[in-house]
Amino acid sequence: MAALEKRRPAVAPGAGFSDGGRPTASRAAAGAESEEDFLRQVGVTEMLRAALLKVLEARPEEPIAFLARYFENLGLRSPASGGAGDPPGQLLLQQQRLSRALWHLRLAHHSQRAAFNNNVSVAYECLSAGGRKKKPGLDGRTYSELLRRICREGEAPDAAVAPLLRKLQCRDHEAVPLGVFRAGMRTCFVLLEFVARAGALYRLLEDPALAAADRRVGQAVLDTLEGALQTGDGDEAAPARYLEAGSRLGPDNVALAMDRAVVARRPCVPMHREEFLEKAAALFIAKVKPVG
Amino acid sequence: MLSPERLALPDYEYLAQQHVLTYMEDAVCQLLENKEDISQYGIARFFTEYFNSVCQGTHILFREFSFVQATPHNRASFLRAFWRCFRTVGKNGDLLTMKEYHCLLQLLCPDFPLELTRKAARIVLLDDAMDCLMSFSDFLLAFQVQFYYSEFLESVAAIYQDLLSGKNPNTVVVPTSSSGQHRQRPTSGEASMLEGVEASLFCQCLENLCDRHKYSCPPPALVKEVLSKAQRLTFYGFLVALSKHQGTNQALGALPDKGDLMHDPAMDEELERLLVQVPGLANSVTASPETSCLPSRTPPRGASPWRPHHHPHKVDAESDGSTEETDESET
């Protein structure tokens, strides 16, 4: 932040006096000052400061594209665009709130704990802000709707995520506290990533000609995964358990299980992607504690 | 999915690595120069468009040289813009001189330094006279290496000179970009019987250089491969090999493969569509609009009634080094 502040005066004079030969020192100083004033008055300084903070918080891989999206969203929100007409209906307002909350939630990956938690709080505030006909606070209906949208846009099969939604949902008229909201959001994003990785795993097993995987092999992989997840059970999640789970998922272990499955030679029907993902997701969801 | 190194960097280093502040500063400068735009469209919209154009690589068009060369992304964008704008020159098979290519560069970047164009031309022409004709793709591939790896090549030149004069390469001090004298070739008196330096030694020094170089440099494996093909080689021998190597072009990522340099069906279609719309030109769709602003030695192809109007004016405005051609075309 300070860097931007310090650097700007050095840049501004060049931009302002490109036409006027060599300006005197005082003129340059006055120009720089008025330009800084101008930037502050119209809100550029504040806007860039907020944007830069967001970049640093989220550390996106492509910050320039991130900034383009950031400002685009900012432009859509500002009353200058589309604020002149009739006041939008309640339904539209609700949709806008949801989109805005979603956008905040997606700014940082859930593994960046501090940034993600921060964004969850902002999203929570977005959704629970009071309006003319709306009491402040977040109700279960909006929360469930948001969960559904995240899952829908996460490209996971419905059947795979539906059990999670059932577990995490609150009743429509229940008030949702921040803690529940945060846990729900994080679980949802982690599950989506889990499903995405399970999808990648399935692609390795799949026979492209049949668009299906061998059931014995698929089941063996799922069983190994389940075994590994069960190691994590216990009173305390000691690091040793993570290590053990990791070793159970090691390539040789999985290969051994797959090998055994193929040798068993039981007759079977092929396993399709949806089924594999559903079963994998079920393993994860079994670990999620229901709300309340 | 996530590259953790990025997350572990200190804030300032992350921003510097991605050149975030460079673009933010430039966005503010642009905004100050276009104050009337923001009162009309709003600041957020202005920034949206600015950052979108940076992503698309159109932000360097007609900008000052200091900005065009400021970041690797800007350089790659400029190379791509140059290729896209003047690809038809190559397609028509025109051969141009160094000065003419320089005029083309100046159409996109008015203060583009002649020195850089000259260095690129030397990679193509070597010891030949500098007013020889070059094909578009030869020039482009040499130019991209010279332009994109400018600072790296300066350091390479210094190392080469030191090796030639027999200094210990490990004590080489990398010069700043301001030193430009080491391009001089050794006079025949001090040059040894064999031309150039020993490739393996040169390679060792360049490997060191790649390790500590803060500007972009070609992938070290590529440098090694280029140098492993010869026993001894000269500085320009190295540059020629580097610029012609397919891997260089791929690593840089701004241009398509050499074979596809002239191939861009979507753009061709667009051009033809535009040309059909120009009245009086319907029967000469093969002539390209870009070549019209060139000082050209070949007689105009096809019927081009608009040529006399555009030609003298453009030449006056954009080229200051090619008076002979201008004279020719005006008589």
- Tell me if B38 sits within 8 A of B62, measured CB to CB: no
Shortest distance between the Cα of B20 and any Cα of chain A, in A, equals: 7
Contacts of B52 in chain A (CB under 8 A): 68, 72
Q: What is chain B's Cα-based Rg?
A: 22
What pLDDT, on a 0 to 100 scale, did the predictor assign at position A131?
Answer: 63
Q: What is chain A's Cα-based Rg?
A: 26
Can you tell me the distance from the alpha carbon of B121 to that of B99, in angstroms, rounded to the nearest whole number?
Answer: 9
pLDDT of B309 > 60? The answer is: no
Q: Which of A11-20, B6-15, B110-119, B168-177 has the lowest mean pLDDT?
A: A11-20
Can you tell me the distance from the alpha carbon of A13 to that of B47, in angstroms, rounded to the nearest whole number?
Answer: 21
Tens-place pLDDT, residues B120-162: 999 999 877 788 899 999 999 999 999 999 999 999 999 998 8
Nearest to A75 among B12, B44, B73 (CB): B44
pLDDT of B113 > 90? The answer is: yes
DSSP secondary structure code for residue A87 in this structure: P
DSSP string, A223-290: HHHHHHHHHT-SSS--HHHHHHHHHHTSHHHHHHHHHHHHHH------B-HHHHHHHHHHHHHTTSPP
What pLDDT, on a 0 to 100 scale, did the predictor assign at position B239?
Answer: 92
User: A45 or B167: which carries more pLDDT confidence?
Assistant: A45
pLDDT of B284 > 80? The answer is: no
What pLDDT, on a 0 to 100 scale, did the predictor assign at position B112?
Answer: 96
Please list, residue by residue across A211-221, b when 16 or more beta carbons sit within 10 angstroms of its beta carbon and e when fewer do. ebbbbbbbbbb
User: A127 or A290: which carries more pLDDT confidence?
Assistant: A127
Can you tell me the distance from the alpha carbon of A68 to that of B59, in angstroms, rounded to the nearest whole number?
Answer: 13
Alpha-helical regions (H) of B57-198: 65-68, 72-91, 98-108, 114-125, 136-148, 150-164
Beta-carbon separation of A71 and B51 below 8 A: yes
Tens-place pLDDT, residues A30-59: 666 788 888 888 889 999 999 999 898 888
What pLDDT, on a 0 to 100 scale, did the predictor assign at position B81?
Answer: 94
Work out whether strand B232-233 and strand B197-198 pair parallel, antiparallel, or are unpaired. antiparallel
Nearest to A75 among B3, B32, B42 (CB): B42
Please list, residue by residue across A80-100, b when 16 or more beta carbons sit within 10 angstroms of its beta carbon and e when fewer do. eeeeeeeeeeeeeebeebbeb
- Scan residues 84-103 of A and list those with Cβ closer than 8 Å to B: none
Angle at A231 between CA A227 and CA A236, to 5 degrees: 160
- Scan residues 183-202 of A and list those with Cβ closer than 8 Å to B: 193
Shortest distance between the Cα of B11 and any Cα of chain A, in A, equals: 7
Can you tell me the distance from the alpha carbon of B115 to that of B104, in angstroms, rounded to the nearest whole number?
Answer: 15
Tens-place pLDDT, residues B262-273: 877 887 888 888
Residue with tokens 């360097």: B60
Contacts of B12 in chain A (CB under 8 A): 3
Burial class of residue B306 (count of CB atoms within 10 Å of its CB; 0-12, 13-18, 19+): middle
Strand-pairing partners, residue B102, are none
Burial class of residue B276 (count of CB atoms within 10 Å of its CB; 0-12, 13-18, 19+): exposed
Can you tell me the distance from the alpha carbon of A289 to that of B65, in angstroms, rounded to the nearest whole number?
Answer: 60
Token readout for B300 is 């105009």
Confidence of residue A4 (pLDDT cuts 50, 70, 90): very low
Shortest distance between the Cα of A24 and any Cα of chain B, in A, equals: 20
pLDDT of A89 > 70? The answer is: no
Can you tell me the distance from the alpha carbon of B180 to that of B157, in angstroms, rounded to the nearest whole number?
Answer: 9
User: A16 or A56: which carries more pLDDT confidence?
Assistant: A56
* Extended beta strands in B194-331, E state: 197-198, 232-233
Beta-carbon separation of A112 and B24 below 8 A: no
User: A248 or A35: which carries more pLDDT confidence?
Assistant: A35
What pLDDT, on a 0 to 100 scale, did the predictor assign at position B192?
Answer: 46
Can you tell me the distance from the alpha carbon of B102 to that of B113, in angstroms, rounded to the nearest whole number?
Answer: 9
pLDDT of B47 > 60? The answer is: yes
ipTM above 0.95, yes or no: no
pLDDT of B298 > 80? The answer is: no
User: How many other C-beta atoms can be found within 10 angstroms of the C-beta atom of residue A243?
Assistant: 11
User: A240 or B66: which carries more pLDDT confidence?
Assistant: B66
Can you tell me the distance from the alpha carbon of B65 to that of B63, in angstroms, rounded to the nearest whole number?
Answer: 6
Residue B62, phi-psi category: left (phi > 0), alpha (psi -120 to 50), beta (remainder):
left
Can you tell me the distance from the alpha carbon of B24 to that of A47, in angstroms, rounded to the nearest whole number?
Answer: 11
pLDDT of B186 > 60? The answer is: no
- Tell me if B112 sits within 8 A of B65, measured CB to CB: yes
Minimal-distance CA residue of chain B relative to A37: B32
Nearest to A68 among B24, B28, B48 (CB): B48
With a CB cutoff of 8 Å and minimum separation 6, the contacts of A186 are A110, A116, A120
With a CB cutoff of 8 Å and minimum separation 6, the contacts of A154 are A161, A192, A195, A196
